[in-house]
Amino acid sequence: MYLCAPKANLQVQYPAMRLRQPPIIASKAFLGDPLSGTKGLALPLGIRKTTSFATSKTKMAPLKIVLDGNSSTTRQPERAALSFIVKATGENRESVSKEVTETSNEINRVFKDLSPKTETGETIQGSPVTSFSSTSLQTWSQVPSDSSGKPLPTVYHATLSLNALFQDFTKLSKVVGGLFSYSNIEIQSLEWCLTEATQKALSSESREEAMRDAVRKANDYARVIGREVVAVEIRESAGGVQFGMNTGRYSAFSQRQMMQQQMQPQHQLAARSTVPSAAVFTSASNMGLDSGAPMALDLSPQLIRYTNHVEVEFQAADN
């Protein structure tokens, strides 16, 4: 026999609980297929019918184009850089030094007339020569020997280098002709060049044109296949100044060869002349710069060509 507690009139209240039910996703069979016309079953109360349409887009294949861009821009030279040396050889150090010094002093007087200066030391604008400079006198000696190895008398050498930058090419031709009248002057090089401002402008123009060339090529290819491309990488290759059809500057050897061929008639004229070389070049007037003497050469300026080359990688805009 169990002893039980007497029944009590109890009322128990439980807190309200909100149950979270996962969303009901109706299948195509249950809801029906609006595309095929199949009717679905009736939906229970509280279930909303939703219809979604899947859309798909065909992805374009990746496209990469790698092309070269080239440019070639030409200009007439604006300056001519002339380099030459005065030299002497003999058995007496003082005599060779004196010969070089006297000749270089004559040359300096001529170039001072061609490049007059202002009170502040600047070259007057429009002068035939924009700058002129010379090095100091250099001397050295050597002891030669005959075929049997016996020492010969000491030989002394003296040299002095001079450089001039011309903007008047007519005067340049006359000066070079006058210089070749001297037996102790040797022209080292003649280089055609541009001003610094023109060089910078030409470099920019050449780079831009090379890039435009690459873009034109890429657009030609992309247009045929109905795509649009954008540049993603640019690599600049070798480029620079060219003179006529020859790349780089003329070497001193090739310059001397060219001028020696042009100078042959002048050398013959100087050889027949009875006027000593020291009297030929004492001033700008008596060397023929003002009178148009026949010693002038026809030095045709070489056309300066600036080239540029770039390699550009393009990709499709829709990649």
Residuewise pLDDT in 10s, the chain (319 residues): 444 444 545 454 545 555 555 555 545 444 555 555 555 555 555 555 555 545 555 677 889 999 999 999 999 999 999 999 999 999 999 999 999 999 999 999 999 999 999 888 899 999 999 999 999 999 999 999 888 889 889 999 999 999 999 999 999 999 999 999 999 999 999 999 999 999 999 999 999 999 999 999 999 999 999 999 999 999 998 767 665 533 333 344 444 455 555 444 444 444 433 333 333 444 554 455 544 454 556 788 889 999 999 999 999 987 6
pTM (2 d.p.): 0.63
**Domain locations along the chain:** 79-193+254-297
Contacts of 72 (CB under 8 A, 6+ apart): 206, 305, 306, 307
CA-based torsion, 33, 35, 38, 43: positive or negative: positive
Kindly tell me the sign of the dihedral angle through the C-alpha atoms of 198, 202, 204, 205. Answer: positive
C-alpha 66/C-alpha 53 separation (Å) is 41
Helices 93-114 and 169-179 pack at an angle, to 10 degrees, of: 160
CA 19 → CA 16, 44, 129, 301, distances in Å? 10, 19, 101, 97
At 206 the three-state DSSP class reads helix
Structure tokens at 20: 């979270």
By DSSP bridging, strand 229-236 and strand 155-166 are unpaired
